[in-house]
Structure 1
Amino acid sequence: MSRRDPEARRRAIIEAAGRLIAEVGVGGVTHRRVAAEAGVPLGATTYYFKDLDDLVEATLAQSAADCAEWLDAWQRDLDAGADVAASLAEATAEYLADRARHRTLNEMYAAAAHRPELRPAARVWSDGLVRVLAPRVGGRAAQAASAFIDGVLLQALINDRPLDSGILTEALTALLTALRDPPAGPPS
């Protein structure tokens, strides 16, 4: 990465900030820490981002874009599998294997609770999951599954061992079965 590739330098700063958000939380991110993590001069962080809030916002926007990519992969997995609950549980367990990624997602949620301008980016995950699931299980079940998975991700932050895919499958099966929209009947 050189000064002659400003987009690569900007990306490196955002990636470094993302790693730091996962490690120390949004409140622990400073220009000095980001510059050291990215291997750039301190002035580069203020050159590319007007202030720390701008840098955090850009980093969380990138995290939201990454969430959208994960949701695309989940949709492909669900399209390929016959059992929605098992496919969803397996995807959730795989997601939990990358602790830094889901810590960043939860940091995004926490930051958005205090900064309304971050809420659209924070909702990419939960709204996108509902959008992926609704055609398969109905709107109510999709909303409940999204809330359940958010809770599983939050719980995993404080437990050394997240729920395994077997328990996730059982819980999601029960939830999706109980809340699945009834099939449309003949018109009256």
Structure 2
Amino acid sequence: MPESDQPAARSRRDPQARRRAIVRAAADLLVEGGGGDITHRRVAERAGVPLGATTYYFTSLDELREAGLQVLVDEIDEFIDYARRVSAGRPREPESLARLLHDYFCDRDRMRSDLALYGATIHRPELHPLALRWFDGMVGLLSDWTDPATARLLAGFADGVGLHVMLRGEPVELDELTRAITALMRSGTAREEAR
């Protein structure tokens, strides 16, 4: 049989790539649905894989949902790492921190991901550690800028601003953010000096 008449050799499948595609599809659907329900079928369609592939890698929807949420958490960790690199060696001034957070809050995709993460975990106490990774990461980052108590206060403030941005769909103004962060950082400095 001539070579052109032979059936094409099947390329070897990459199971890890298939699993990554399924997890990415689950994360994307969680973001699009605000953290709402996903199904094996919808994930399979989005990933471009047979339905059986999703149930092969993830026997339950909870397992699949958690894998998708983990992708969103990994993206938060990437931002925290990025923020550390960007702020390394720079003065620890409120204006610099405000610009960094303002850029974060202006990223609509990131805000949608955060909303999906909170929405999917709010009524699932076993998943709360996933949702708290942003807060804990921010406290770690901000502890390089100020004392730990003020870092927690700033992270809580940033949580609230993020929620405001997500729900209202409008960015916070840089000058307003700068004024608030300046006041919070000064209150922490004053508290430390009073001790």
Give the letter for the 2:84 counterpart: Q
More helix by share: 1
- Aligned Cα root-mean-square deviation (Å): 2.0
Q: What residue ranges of structure 2 are gaps of 5+ in the alignment?
A: 1-10
**Which stretch shows the higher mean deviation, 172-181 or 6-15?**
172-181
Whole-Å separation in 2 of the counterparts to 1:88 and 1:15: 31
Q: Tell whether the 8 Å contact from 1:16 to 1:34 is kept in structure 2 after alignment.
A: yes
Aligned pairs for 1:14-33 (under 5 A) are: 14-33=23-42
Which residue number in structure 1 is paired with residue 72 of structure 2?
A: 63
Which residue number in structure 2 is paired with residue 90 of structure 1?
A: 99
Alignment of 1:139 onto 2:153: no
CA deviation string 1:126-179 (max 9, x = no partner): 011101111321011101110111111111112232102222111111111112
**Which stretch shows the higher mean deviation, 168-177 or 156-165?**
156-165
Whole-Å separation in 1 of the counterparts to 2:60 and 2:104: 31
Which residue number in structure 2 is paired with residue 126 of structure 1?
A: 135
Whole-Å separation in 2 of the counterparts to 1:20 and 1:90: 30
Whole-Å separation in 2 of the counterparts to 1:12 and 1:58: 11
Whole-Å separation in 2 of the counterparts to 1:148 and 1:63: 21
Whole-Å separation in 1 of the counterparts to 2:100 and 2:37: 30
Give me the TM-score of the superposition, normalised by structure 2. 0.85
Alignment of 1:155 onto 2:164: yes
Aligned partner of residue 117 in structure 2, secondary structure: helix
Q: What residue ranges of structure 1 are gaps of 5+ in the alignment?
A: none
After superposition, the Cα gap between the structure-2 partners of 1:52 and 1:160, relative to the gap in structure 1 and judged at 3 Å, is same
**Which stretch shows the higher mean deviation, 81-90 or 147-156?**
81-90
List, as ranges, runs of 4+ consecutive aligned residues in structure 1 with deviation greater than 6 Å. Answer: none
Give the letter for the 2:120 counterpart: A
Shift of 1:183: 5.0
Shift of 1:39: 1.4
Give me the TM-score of the superposition, normalised by structure 1. 0.88
Pairing partner for 1:6 from 3, 12, 15: 15
| Percent of aligned pairs sharing the same letter | 43
Whole-Å separation in 1 of the counterparts to 2:12 and 2:105: 36
Whole-Å separation in 1 of the counterparts to 2:133 and 2:57: 25
Give the letter for the 1:162 counterpart: P
Whole-Å separation in 2 of the counterparts to 1:18 and 1:121: 13
